Amino acid sequence: MTNYDISVIGGGPGGYVAAIKAAQMGAKTAIIEDGNIGGVCLNWGCIPTKTLLKSAKVYKYMMNSEKYGIDLENKSNVKINWENMKDRKNKVVSQLTGGVETLLKKNSVDIYNGFANIIDKNTIEVNNEKINTKNIIIATGSSPRLPDIPGFKESMEKGYIVTSKGVIDLDNLPKKLLILGGGVISVEFATLYNALGTEVTILHRSEKILRSLDDDISKKMNRILKKDGVKIVYNCDIQKIEDNKIMTIVKGKEKVFEGDKILTSIGRVPNLKGLENIDIKKYKKGIITDEYMRTNIDNIYAIGDVNGKYMLAHVASAEGISAVENILGEKSTINYNTVPSCIYSFPEIGVSGLTEKEAKEKGYDVITSTFPLAANGKALAEGETDGFIKIVSDDKYKEILGVHILAPTATDMIAEAVTTMELEGTAYELAKAIHPHPTLSETVMEAAHGIIDKPIHIFR
């Protein structure tokens, strides 16, 4: 039997980062992965979707080329080569997953390909082999939640309904795509397929999509999606599904929607198989952990999607590092208050910290400042002025409480806000820090001036 200090179950961004960190800190480490190294993030989530979105963006630019003074004589000659798009996506994925595998090996992490069953708190079985371990990190991730709607299962078996995994590898681009759910993943796929010419309809149960966002950002994104041609049906109660047809009740009226494909994207559930032999405490969203990523069993930790705190790759990785540090004798926690959350729509959304509503509910004396991209030189040069930044701050010290950005590069821009909030920075620091010109990041500085007094490049 091989002995390890730390055994990590699951090779996603939580598990593989934890394994590399553990090995770097001198622990004898194993990682056990049942599927592909890289987990959902590298194989079916973060990376492949962004690769396809880039292709869609290039196509969109070409179709709007005259805006940039470039005449494409016959736009009907501009063809989407879906097979080549998928090939490019697959190449990016294999380059990355191959790179991660090499990193694991170079750091002397032992990789086991197979399903891990925890036998007891110090023993894991994989491919009929037992491994002995002082500590276990569970990083088994999550899977799509499948609703209990009449006809759903049958329609899925017939291939009409696909999950986020299937929708990136469709044989053909669908003419009509129905999307169940109005969360981040739904919006990213709506953006992708809409840009590629598919007729996209989002069927959403409540009266608002992207509900967790600051109201100003979600309202504007709703408008942009609609302007771009995405249909959004709110208050949509699904009654049953028959093949590619969805029977619904919308505001008291029966309505039927039909698509070539139906993407189900209504949340995810934790992967808890293989843990049956241990008495690990769980709640609705996954495994219960404390601030040190520890479960109720003292040498077992749970990180990433499976603990249900945040379903984000960068949180999984941060939790992985934190768990390892705690196992190896440090006291390590994470500041969940500044976790950035991103949507790779056109334009992108990057947010961190409190929304205006949340800040008020927490009792802050709130002051906000917005600055439009339309008043930013780089945005004008790029021809992408649809968006804005909103800073939420407390009025007394001007401490930054939340930053909400809608801009083509919002997902990169938000990192500045995270760092500022991590340092408990104020609008004074953001306004004082010299930002490069011309960049979209200048809007951060301008909005910060607006918290203190007034922005420079707009008259108020």
Ligand X SMILES: Cc1cc2nc3c(=O)[nH]c(=O)nc-3n(C[C@H](O)[C@H](O)[C@H](O)COP(=O)(O)OP(=O)(O)OC[C@H]3O[C@@H](n4cnc5c(N)ncnc54)[C@H](O)[C@@H]3O)c2cc1C
Residues marked as binding?
50, 140-142, 181-188, 267, 305, 311-314
Number of residues lying near ligand X (CB under 6 A): 36
Q: What is the DSSP string of 289-308?
A: --TTSB-SSTTEEE-GGGG-
Q: Which of residues 206-265 bind ligand X (CB under 6 A)?
A: none
Point out which residues pair with 30 in neighbouring strands.
7, 110
Does 305 bind ligand X (CB under 6 A)? Our answer is yes
Does 110 bind ligand X (CB under 6 A)? Our answer is no
**Closest separation in Å from C-beta 270 to ligand X:** 9
Hey, what are 10's tokens? 């699951």
* 13 contacts 120 by C-beta, under 8 angstroms: no
Does 29 bind ligand X (CB under 6 A)? Our answer is no
Return the DSSP state at 371: E
Is 437 annotated as catalytic?
yes
HSE at residue 120, side-chain half, CA atoms within 13 A, is: 2
Annotated binding residues for NAD(+): 181-188, 267, 305
Q: Select from 57, 88, 314, 457 the one that contacts ligand X (CB under 6 A).
A: 314
Closest CA to 210 of 72, 35, 344: 344
Q: Select from 181, 270, 274, 347 the one that contacts ligand X (CB under 6 A).
A: 274
Does 115 bind ligand X (CB under 6 A)? Our answer is yes
Does 327 bind ligand X (CB under 6 A)? Our answer is no
- Rg of the Cα atoms in the chain: 24
Does 323 bind ligand X (CB under 6 A)? Our answer is no
Please state, in angstroms and rounded to a whole number, the distance separating the CA atoms of residues 74 and 81. 17
Does 45 bind ligand X (CB under 6 A)? Our answer is yes
**Closest separation in Å from C-beta 44 to ligand X:** 6
Residue with smaller CB distance to ligand X, 305 or 442: 305
Vertex 380: Cα angle to 377 and 385 (nearest 5): 115
Does 270 bind ligand X (CB under 6 A)? Our answer is no
Does 14 bind ligand X (CB under 6 A)? Our answer is yes
Q: Select from 20, 52, 56, 116 the one that contacts ligand X (CB under 6 A).
A: 116
Residue with smaller CB distance to ligand X, 168 or 366: 168
Please state, in angstroms and rounded to a whole number, the distance separating the CA atoms of residues 125 and 214. 46
Does 351 bind ligand X (CB under 6 A)? Our answer is no
Which stretch, 42-50, 194-202, 230-238, 452-460, contacts ligand X (CB under 6 A)?
A: 42-50
* Residue 60, SS3 per DSSP: helix
Which stretch, 140-148, 170-178, 370-378, 389-397, contacts ligand X (CB under 6 A)?
A: 140-148
Does 350 bind ligand X (CB under 6 A)? Our answer is no
**Closest separation in Å from C-beta 213 to ligand X:** 15
Does 33 bind ligand X (CB under 6 A)? Our answer is yes
Does 170 bind ligand X (CB under 6 A)? Our answer is no
Q: Select from 19, 185, 354, 405 the one that contacts ligand X (CB under 6 A).
A: 185
Please state, in angstroms and rounded to a whole number, the distance separating the CA atoms of residues 182 and 205. 8
Return the DSSP state at 383: T
Which stretch, 137-145, 150-158, 414-422, 440-448, contacts ligand X (CB under 6 A)?
A: 137-145
| Helix ranges (DSSP H) in 228-306 | none
Point out which residues pair with 269 in neighbouring strands.
143
Does 313 bind ligand X (CB under 6 A)? Our answer is yes
Please state, in angstroms and rounded to a whole number, the distance separating the CA atoms of residues 59 and 78. 8
Point out which residues pair with 178 in neighbouring strands.
201, 262
Catalytic residue among 404, 437, 449, 457: 437
Hey, what are 121's tokens? 């708190």
- Burial call 411-422: b when 16+ CB within 10 Å, e when fewer: bebbebbbebbe
Q: Which of residues 374-433 bind ligand X (CB under 6 A)?
A: none
Quick one: which H or E segment has residue 232?
strand 231-233
Closest CA to 449 of 67, 435, 439: 435
Point out which residues pair with 323 in neighbouring strands.
none
* Residue 314, SS3 per DSSP: helix
CA distances from 350 to 88, 163, 202, 312, 415 (A): 26, 25, 22, 13, 9
Q: Select from 6, 8, 9, 421 the one that contacts ligand X (CB under 6 A).
A: 9
Does 311 bind ligand X (CB under 6 A)? Our answer is yes
The answer to whether the peptide bond before residue 13 is cis (omega within 30 degrees of 0) is no
Which stretch, 171-179, 307-315, 377-385, 424-432, contacts ligand X (CB under 6 A)?
A: 307-315
Hey, what are 213's tokens? 């966002």
Please state, in angstroms and rounded to a whole number, the distance separating the CA atoms of residues 298 and 203. 44
Residue with smaller CB distance to ligand X, 234 or 310: 310
Q: Select from 8, 40, 93, 445 the one that contacts ligand X (CB under 6 A).
A: 40
Residue with smaller CB distance to ligand X, 164 or 326: 164
Q: Select from 141, 182, 347, 402 the one that contacts ligand X (CB under 6 A).
A: 141
Residues labelled catalytic:
437
| List of residues contacting ligand X (CB under 6 A) | 9-15, 32-35, 39-41, 45-46, 49, 115-116, 139-142, 164, 185, 271, 273-274, 304-306, 311-314, 316
